[in-house]
Amino acid sequence: MKLPEEFLKKMQNLLGNEYSDFIESYNKESYKGIRANTLKLSVEDFKKISPFKLSDIPWCKEGFYIDDFDNVRPGKHPYYHCGLYYIQEPSAMIPVEVLNPKPGDRVLDISAAPGGKTTQIGAKLNGKGLLVANDISPKRVKALTKNIEMFGIKNCVVTNETPGRLAEKFKYFFDKILVDAPCSGEGMFRKDPKSVNNWSKFSVNQCSKMQKDILKHIPKMLRPGGLLAYSTCTFSPEENEGTIEWFLKEFPEFEVVKIENIDVLDRGRPEWVGGRREIEWTLRAWPHKIKGEGHFIALLKKRDGQNEGLKMFNRRETNYDAYLEFENLNMKISLRESLHIVGENLYSIPDGLPDLTGIKIANLGLYLGKIKKNRFEPSQSLALALKKEDFRNVIDFSSKSIEAIKYLKGETLMLNDKKGWKLVCIDGFPVGWGKQTDSFLKNYYRPEWRMR
């Protein structure tokens, strides 16, 4: 791999004796991982049914290395379509472990696309509390929404906003915030050689400015006593220790928290930026020292103080009869207490949402489906957020059957059964909808998600 001269020189200066080991790591393959979705099954059950050989990632109990990744192709397996796991670079699992969201927390993931860390937070919240996943790029928000839907996360609002606009709405609202910042991506050179070209395009200084432009809005959104995790996938001190040093100076109400729960990683290097001593309590993942790519993670706490009240979200009360008829006929659980409609789109919205007037929203909790001409058509995300036992009429294919593959490819299946909506499952895990007619099952698997 051809690495930029300027980068090599800088790393040599920083690393001294370690430099040759660091460079040697570029001759090795990058590590590939997946993370089990505990919203759908336990880690133990996942290990039992996993079609891939797994070995544990030390810092994330849901995370596993996959050897032979390119041959076993986890992105092509029917379980991927059921949302049973997320494909994620192993070091990228560290920041959420450090932030450690708990059920009931209000969490903001401010630069979230494509959603690796959002899905990890969503699984940790386990349906309780509120997750706001934001990204500034409309295109990347689409991928983010898809991944949240696949994972079956019910309590996530997806926004497409600038941090400044979010700060106007969520005053001192969140318990925990993740800033997984845009960065120069030096830690990804081995995994993604294309990132070398981006490095030349976006300088370290430009990235450091982007990071500060995001971070300066965080204090307004975090409640007193709340936690902020800041992470990058780059080595440059200017974007890591340097950004934290700047933040602590600008916002003296924050202090660095010593990250204790992950002991296989190195500490931050305050001396590289002439920064204060406690920056040493941050973490650095080095590709020549662990089985993963380069990352930096800092955990900061906002000191205790007073909080402010907020105007809350106003749920629209209207006629939901078409949905209620569907629910009465088919479902064994009820979402009627949380319904909210936007145009013809029906959502189940999470509790405790503030007023979001004027905010660009891509997804408002759990998208249930459309009400059109007094008829309800369920969405793929509803199927993926249900358990098999939540629905009365189910059709369950084996992951090894030809029917499962035909369904995922969008084909019509010739079947005789009772008429009406069917929750289609694979090995007991919901994946989408079908509508039974006299002699066939009409396929409602979302066209853009189909298996090719």
Ligand X SMILES: C[S@@+](CC[C@H](N)C(=O)[O-])C[C@H]1O[C@@H](n2cnc3c(N)ncnc32)[C@H](O)[C@@H]1O
- C-alpha span between 450 and 452 (Å, rounded): 6
Task: Give the residues lining the site for ligand X (CB under 6 A).
Answer: 92, 110-117, 134-137, 140, 162-163, 180, 182, 210, 213-214
Least Å distance between CB 423 and ligand X?
29
Least Å distance between CB 154 and ligand X?
20
Q: Is 156 designated active site?
A: no
Q: Answer yes or no: is 135 a known binding residue.
A: yes
Least Å distance between CB 149 and ligand X?
15
- C-alpha span between 305 and 251 (Å, rounded): 14
Q: Answer yes or no: is 92 a known binding residue.
A: no
Q: Answer yes or no: is 116 a known binding residue.
A: yes
User: In terms of Cα–Cα distance, which of 191, 240, 238 is closest to 25?
Assistant: 191
Q: Answer yes or no: is 117 a known binding residue.
A: yes
Least Å distance between CB 369 and ligand X?
27
CB-wise, 162 or 318, nearer to ligand X? 162
Q: Answer yes or no: is 390 a known binding residue.
A: no
User: What DSSP string runs through 134-188?
Assistant: E-S-HHHHHHHHHHHHHHT-SSEEEE---HHHHHHHSTT-EEEEEEE-----GGG
Half-sphere exposure at residue 173, Cβ-oriented, CA atoms within 13 angstroms: 23
Identify the three-state secondary structure at position 356: coil
Least Å distance between CB 135 and ligand X?
5
- Output 256-263 pairs: Cβ under 8 A, ≥24 positions apart: 256/281, 256/282, 256/298, 256/299, 256/300, 257/227, 257/281, 257/299, 257/300, 257/301, 259/98, 259/283, 259/297, 259/299, 261/97, 261/98, 261/100, 262/59, 262/94, 262/97, 262/98
The residue nearest ligand X at its CB is 111
Q: Answer yes or no: is 270 a known binding residue.
A: no
Token pair of 71 as six digits? 């041959």
Q: Answer yes or no: is 182 a known binding residue.
A: no
Q: What is the dihedral of CA 101, 104, 108, 109, to 10 degrees?
A: 50
CB-wise, 92 or 300, nearer to ligand X? 92
CB-wise, 18 or 213, nearer to ligand X? 213
Residue with tokens 């690796």: 116
CB-wise, 287 or 378, nearer to ligand X? 287
Which one is catalytic: 82, 156, 233, 425?
233
Give the active site residues.
233
Binding site feature residues for S-adenosyl-L-methionine: 111-117, 135, 180
Binding residues: 111-117, 135, 180
